């Protein structure tokens, strides 16, 4: 992680945060239950929840009766989804609208898919694609558990996703080196292997380009990762800007702690519009890490 010392604000605080347990957050699922009733029932069980002020339906679990909130009947019933606040920002930034045709290109285990369905109240159509056979079960289980009725699950290599749509919005939450999950995955606390970062960035470029190609003119694409590596973040989006008809859409995060996207990294220079993308570091939101870029198809 030391290679990021010059770009991560309060770097010592960042490193200290990586050594602390990551809190649990939940998203109350209003497709199944009202927010008020869910909070009341969980409180009766002894769970203490703290509302997240900047993210609708999200609560931080600050107290338990001695067992995990996932071990409750209410979790099995789909009243809530355990979801960190950093990835929880992605679907609202996509800003899906009722009755739209939306593609989630790498959807498992389903947190962002079910969040999109909740935002648009089960209207429209979501195509949730997952290329990995072993992950399809979790995607199917979570969409069913959360009462999602507007979603079609597909299995394709996202880079070669068949022509369809075109889609109003596409979310491409790509496979990545996972440095943003260092609080949960101790092996990532020193950073990812350079060779893996280099190899996975090629896949990410292919996925983002295909996402743009599948979006209608004027439509919106959101690219996200849970890593800090500029090679997987700004470099990938810069590549897409050079090779596909698209532009950056500024993300309004004025009320939420975050950092701007980079326009320079080591010997690489990126399009200046990338400063309007978003980096989230664990010490800023007491969360995992995230990179989010929003684009418009031209």
CATH number of 23-83: 3.30.70.1170
Q: Is the pTM of this model over 0.85?
A: yes
Give residue 166's pLDDT: 96
191-198: average pLDDT: 94
Neighbours of 260 (CB within 10 A): 13
- Rounded to whole angstroms, the Cα distance separating 175 from 110 reads 14
* DSSP structure string for 201-216: HHHHHHHHHHHHHTEE
Q: For residue 98, name the pLDDT band (cuts at 50, 70, 90).
A: very high
Q: Where in the chain is the domain with CATH 3.30.70.1170?
A: 23-83
Q: At residue 165, does pLDDT exceed 90?
A: no
142-154: average pLDDT: 98
Q: Where in the chain is the domain with CATH 3.40.50.150?
A: 85-297
Running DSSP on this structure, what letter comes out for residue 223?
E
For residue 124, CA distances in Å to 117, 170, 185, 298 come to: 9, 14, 36, 23
Q: For residue 197, name the pLDDT band (cuts at 50, 70, 90).
A: very high
For the chain, percent of residues with pLDDT exceeding 70 = 100
In the three-class reduction of DSSP (H, G, I as helix; E, B as strand; rest coil), residue 70 is classed as helix
Cβ-contact 180, 22 below 8 angstroms: no
- Model pLDDT for residues 79-90, shown as the tens digit of each residue: 999 999 999 999
Provide the annotated active-site residues: 226
Give residue 186's pLDDT: 83
Q: Measure CA 184 to chain center.
A: 16
Give residue 92's pLDDT: 98
Give residue 286's pLDDT: 98
Q: At residue 207, does pLDDT exceed 90?
A: yes
- Contacts of residue 2, defined as CB under 8 A and 6 or more positions apart, other chains included, come to 191
Cβ-contact 166, 215 below 8 angstroms: yes
- Rounded to whole angstroms, the Cα distance separating 215 from 172 reads 12
User: 85-297: CATH homologous superfamily?
Assistant: Vaccinia Virus protein VP39 (3.40.50.150)
**HSE (CB half, 13 Å, CA atoms) of 225?**
29
Neighbours of 14 (CB within 10 A): 20
Cβ-contact 28, 146 below 8 angstroms: no
Phi, psi of 153 (to 5 degrees): -100, 130
| Average predicted confidence (pLDDT) for the chain | 97
Q: For residue 164, name the pLDDT band (cuts at 50, 70, 90).
A: confident
Give residue 173's pLDDT: 98
For the chain, percent of residues with pLDDT exceeding 90 = 97
Q: For residue 189, name the pLDDT band (cuts at 50, 70, 90).
A: confident
End-to-end CA distance of the chain: 36
Q: At residue 187, does pLDDT exceed 90?
A: no
């Amino acid at each position: 992680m030391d290679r990021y010392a010059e770009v991560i604000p309060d770097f010592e605080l960042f490193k200290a945060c990586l050594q602390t347990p990551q809190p649990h957050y939940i998203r109350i699922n209003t497709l199944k239950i009202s927010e008020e009733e869910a909070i009341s029932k969980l409180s009766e069980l002894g769970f203490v929840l703290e509302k997240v002020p900047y993210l609708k339906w999200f609560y931080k679990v600050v107290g338990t009766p001695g067992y995990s909130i996932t071990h409750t009947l209410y979790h099995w019933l789909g009243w809530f989804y355990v979801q960190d606040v950093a990835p929880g920002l992605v679907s609202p930034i996509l800003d899906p609208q009722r009755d739209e045709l939306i593609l989630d290109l790498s959807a498992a285990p389903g947190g962002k898919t079910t969040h999109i369905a909740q935002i648009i109240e089960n209207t429209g159509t979501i195509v949730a694609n997952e290329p990995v056979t072993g992950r399809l079960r979790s995607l199917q289980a979570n969409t069913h558990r959360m009462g999602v009725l507007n979603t079609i699950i597909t299995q394709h290599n996202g880079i070669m996703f068949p022509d369809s749509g075109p889609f109003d919005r596409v979310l491409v939450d790509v496979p990545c080196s996972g440095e943003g999950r260092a609080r949960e995955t101790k092996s990532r606390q020193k950073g990812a292997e350079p060779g893996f970062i280099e190899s996975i960035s090629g896949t990410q470029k292919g996925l983002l380009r295909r996402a743009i190609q599948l979006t209608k003119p004027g439509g919106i694409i959101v690219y996200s990762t849970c890593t800090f590596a500029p090679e997987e973040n700004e470099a990938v989006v810069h590549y897409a800007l050079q090779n596909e008809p698209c532009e950056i859409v500024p993300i309004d995060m004025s009320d939420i702690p975050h950092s701007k996207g980079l326009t320079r990294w080591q010997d690489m220079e990126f399009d200046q519009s990338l400063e309007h993308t978003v980096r989230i570091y664990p010490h800023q939101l007491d969360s995992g890490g995230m990179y989010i870029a929003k684009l418009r198809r031209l």
